[in-house]
């Protein structure tokens, strides 16, 4: 059993608004082992990004707060650390990749400046050493002619190259945990595949853990070891890729998979959709959050929020359709 | 597949060394600036003023404060006095040169000092927001509400009219515009994702403000600084004109204007010379500021005259225009 790099227990985080506290992430529990890739999947507004920002403790800057729960990273509790202490961890042991590489790079600095900054902060390198290292890193993430590229500005590179640069920045200090917040959303499909491949090969090389946030089940199926499906701020189902794709148990996961074109639906038939849309955080329905959109909803679902039920050692779901013992669907 | 592509790219890059590297942002700006006739002429005019003022002792044999009553009120082009002499027989050209030293020094130092104060206040205010922003911006409001001319007069009257006090008090009463400008800019910039990305690699706030964000808002600051030089020269003139700025035997353009007013009817040229100097320098500085603004603004494109565009359209369009 590999050691746990990250353990989140009962994390509740969100934003204060005029209507009270909006729990963008409600009672989230996750864990991540060394060298493992965990995909957090969910639609917009399901709390994926809030969770990742909370781990980085960047949520405060976005106007949010962590209300409760623990985030334990390599045995250290992160929720009680000061921002200065977090500054030593961010970029050094935990790094992050952002959705839109073009806007995650500062337009007035060269690529080399931006990569070397992290090295200068965390490893106390001089400017020259850091630049040399930046060239090596750029070569490492598959950018041709890195000696030329380091001196260029972000607007002179393509989107895919920019994302490689962002990855190089994140990997500069060889982090133990890499949080990738929709790293391929802004890229076209071929570049997407290249970036995912790059991430996988770098993971093998550095042995880091990846927390990948995505709304794309296809991306998740390609890179994930385990998948956690989020809906309206909670984790509705968690399991290995095989658990999720072979035995999707929660009606929401089943819906997500069925709405992929060509996945278990015949060609030419109408594409399955989950009716309705994700509820607003201020107006969550009582009981199970998914019940207004769930084809199997019962009175119990409308009345009470389901707890987490283990279906197997690796597979958990939060749905009233399952018995604690049997792990089978009651119809 | 991807490796294949990379390989191709790599080969292409190896075979073709970067001969045509696209120009950097500063190079583009410099090129635009160099092509702006108003700005370039203004640069030469301003340089001319700076150089002749700096080398004043070598350019003129006279002492600017030397009173020579025998030769008072000489007209222009008289023997040895190109622009004539004033009522006390002092050479006007000499006095203009020496005045330029003081006026330009005040102009540039006040602009520099107030831009530094304004940038620091505005940057901190805009970046942190919240109560820090409220406190600093209310302070700016208060500073704006003070009648600055009277404050200047008061301070100079109390502390004496030393050169340095003048620079200090003028800077102290003119940084608020820059502060508001920088704050507005920072409010917008701090929401950028690269700020979040910088935090995500552990860059401390100090460095984000004064390195990452300042570099992004340097353009409006530079432009504002140039415009401020003109404003400071004018303020100095106003104060000296009121008799509170520079005192004899030192001299500035404002002071010369002030002295000239007694003799306005007898010898209006006494007022015209320093007035024209102020006009030209302030105009030049403003043109430079405008030129910089256009050069540094990436959205500012070269404009072609409508006539030429129509000609092109006729020439290249396949459909009838």
| Exposed / middle / buried, residue A203 (Cβ in 10 Å: 0-12, 13-18, 19+) | middle
**Is the model more confident about A125 or about B1?**
A125
The reply to whether residue B212 touches residue A109, judged by beta carbons under 8 angstroms, is yes
Residue with tokens 């302030």: B282
> Is residue A5 a contact partner of residue A206, using CB atoms and an 8 Å limit?
no
Average pLDDT, chain A: 87
Q: Is B194 on the interface with A (CB under 8 A)?
A: yes
pLDDT of res. B298: 66
Identify whether the C-beta of residue A27 lies closer than 8 Å to the C-beta of residue A12: yes
Residue B57's pLDDT is 84
Q: Which two tokens stand for residue A69?
A: 């729960």
User: What domains are there in chain B, each with its CATH number?
Assistant: 27-56+83-299 (1.10.3720.10)
Q: What is the pTM of this model?
A: 0.79
Quick check: A227 contacting B, CB < 8 Å? no
Pick B2's closest partner by Cβ from A87, A170, A193: A193
Lowest-confidence segment of A247-251, A283-287, B298-302 by average pLDDT? B298-302
Give the span between the Cα atoms of A68 and A98, in whole angstroms. Answer: 25
How far is Cα B5 from Cα B7, in angstroms, rounded to an integer? 5
Chain-chain contact of B199 with A89 (C-beta, under 8 angstroms): no
Query: Is the Cβ–Cβ distance between A315 and A273 less than 8 Å?
Result: no
The closest of B110, B234, B222, B241 to B174, measured between CA atoms, is B110
What is the spatial distance between Cα B69 and Cα B104, in angstroms, rounded to a whole number? 29
Put simply, the answer to whether A95 touches B201 (Cβ < 8 Å) is yes
Residue B123 has pLDDT above 90, yes or no: yes
Q: Which of A42, A144, A32 is nearest to A94 (CA)?
A: A32
What is the CA angle B209-B211-B213, rounded to 5? Answer: 55
Cis peptide before B249 (omega within 30 of 0): yes
Q: What are phi and psi of B73, to 5 degrees?
A: 55, 35
Closest CA to A249 of A330, A323, A317: A317
Q: Does B157 touch chain A (CB under 8 A)?
A: no
Whole-number Å distance between alpha carbons of A78 and A85: 9
Residue B1 has pLDDT above 70, yes or no: no
- As beta bridge partners, residue A177 has A94, A209
E strand intervals along chain A? 4-17, 20-33, 37-41, 64-73, 76-77, 94-97, 177-181, 209-214, 226-231, 234-240, 309-310, 316-317
- For the stretch A123-173, pLDDT in tens is 988 999 999 999 999 998 888 889 888 888 888 888 889 999 999 999 888
Is B300's pLDDT higher than 80?
A: no
Residues of chain A with CATH 3.40.50.300: 4-224
Beta bridge partners of A68: A12
Do residues A81 and A135 touch, judged by C-beta distance below 8 A?
A: no
Q: How many CA atoms lie within 13 A of B180 on its CB side?
A: 10
Least Cα separation, residue B109 to chain A (angstroms): 28
Picking from A118-122, A126-130, A259-263, which range would have the lowest pLDDT averaged per residue?
Answer: A259-263
Cβ contacts of B197 on chain A, cutoff 8 Å: 96, 98, 104-106, 166, 169
Report the DSSP beta bridge partners of residue A40. A213, A228
Nearest chain B residue (CA) to A143: B6
Across the interface, which of A96, A144, A190 has its CB nearest the CB of B200?
Answer: A96
Q: Is A61 on the interface with B (CB under 8 A)?
A: yes
Choice among A16-20, A227-231, B78-82 with the minimum mean pLDDT: B78-82
Q: Which of residues 179-208 of A touch B (CB under 8 A)?
A: 190, 193-194, 197-198
Architecture of the CATH domain A4-224? 3-Layer(aba) Sandwich (3.40)
Size of interface A-B (CB pairs under 8 A): 97
Write the pLDDT tens digit of every residue in A58-97: 888 888 889 888 999 998 899 888 888 898 899 899 999 9
Return the number of other C-beta atoms located less than 10 Å from residue A211's C-beta. 26
Question: With contacts defined as CB-CB under 8 Å, which chain B residues touch A62?
Answer: 196
Pairwise CA distance, residues B206 & B192, whole Å: 17
């Amino acid at each position: 059993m590999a050691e746990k790099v990250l353990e989140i227990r009962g994390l509740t985080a969100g934003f204060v608004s005029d209507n009270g506290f909006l729990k963008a992430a409600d009672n989230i529990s996750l864990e991540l082992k060394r060298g493992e890739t965990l995909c957090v999947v969910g639609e917009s507004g399901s709390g994926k990004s809030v969770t990742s920002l909370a781990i980085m403790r960047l949520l405060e800057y976005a106007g949010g707060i962590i209300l409760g729960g623990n985030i334990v990273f390599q045995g250290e509790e992160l929720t009680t650390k000061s921002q200065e202490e977090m500054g030593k961890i961010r970029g050094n042991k935990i790094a992050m990749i952002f959705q839109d590489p073009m806007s995650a790079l500062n337009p007035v600095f060269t690529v080399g400046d931006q990569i070397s900054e992290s090295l200068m902060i965390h490893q106390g390198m001089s400017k020259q050493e850091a630049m040399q290292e930046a060239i090596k890193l750029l070569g490492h993430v598959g950018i041709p002619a890195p000696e030329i590229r380091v001196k260029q500005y972000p607007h002179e590179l393509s989107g895919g190259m920019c994302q490689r640069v962002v990855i190089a920045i994140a990997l500069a200090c060889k982090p133990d945990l890499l949080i990738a917040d929709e790293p391929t959303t802004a890229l076209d499909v071929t570049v997407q595949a290249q970036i995912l491949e790059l991430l996988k090969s770098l993971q093998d090389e550095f042995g880091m853990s990846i927390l990948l946030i995505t709304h794309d089940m296809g991306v998740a199926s390609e890179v994930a070891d385990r998948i956690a499906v989020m809906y309206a701020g909670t984790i509705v189902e968690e399991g290995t890729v095989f658990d999720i794709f072979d035995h999707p148990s929660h009606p929401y996961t089943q819906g997500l998979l069925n709405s992929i074109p060509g996945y278990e639906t015949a060609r030419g038939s109408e594409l399955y959709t989950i009716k309705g849309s994700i509820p607003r955080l201020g107006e969550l329905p009582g009981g199970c959050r998914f019940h207004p959109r769930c084809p199997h909803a019962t009175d119990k679902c409308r009345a009470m929020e389901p707890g987490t039920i283990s279906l197997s050692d690796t597979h958990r779901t939060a749905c009233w359709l399952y018995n604690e013992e049997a792990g089978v669907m009651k119809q | 597949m991807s490796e294949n592509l990379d390989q191709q790219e790599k080969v292409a890059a190896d075979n073709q060394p970067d001969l045509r590297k696209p120009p950097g942002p500063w190079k583009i700006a410099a090129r635009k600036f160099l092509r702006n006739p108003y700005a370039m002429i203004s640069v030469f005019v301003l340089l001319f003023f700076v150089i002749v003022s700096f080398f004043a002792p070598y350019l003129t044999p006279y002492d600017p404060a030397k009173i020579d009553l025998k030769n008072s009120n000489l007209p222009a082009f008289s023997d040895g006095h190109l622009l004539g002499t004033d009522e006390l027989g002092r050479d006007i050209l000499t006095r203009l040169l020496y005045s330029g030293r003081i006026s330009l020094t005040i102009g540039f130092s006040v602009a520099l000092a107030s831009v530094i104060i304004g940038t620091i206040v505005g940057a901190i205010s805009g970046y942190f927001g919240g109560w820090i922003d409220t406190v600093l911006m209310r302070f700016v409001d208060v500073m704006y509400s003070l009648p600055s001319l009277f404050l200047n007069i008061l301070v100079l009257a109390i502390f004496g009219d030393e050169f340095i006090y003048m620079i200090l008090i003028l800077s102290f009463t003119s940084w608020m515009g820059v502060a508001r400008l920088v704050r507005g800019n920072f409010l917008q910039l701090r929401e950028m994702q690269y700020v979040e990305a910088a935090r995500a690699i552990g860059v401390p706030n100090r460095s984000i403000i004064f390195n990452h964000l300042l570099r992004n808002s340097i353009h409006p600051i530079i432009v504002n600084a140039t415009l401020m030089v003109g404003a400071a020269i004018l303020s100095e003139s106003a104060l000296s004109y009121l008799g509170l700025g520079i005192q004899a035997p030192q001299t500035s353009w404002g002071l010369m204007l002030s002295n000239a007013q007694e003799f306005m009817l007898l010898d209006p040229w006494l007022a015209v010379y320093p007035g024209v100097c102020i006009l030209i320098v302030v105009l030049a500085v403003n043109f430079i500021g405008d030129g910089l603004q256009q050069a540094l603004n990436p959205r500012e494109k070269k404009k072609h005259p409508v006539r030429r565009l129509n000609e092109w359209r006729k020439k290249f369009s396949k459909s009838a225009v």
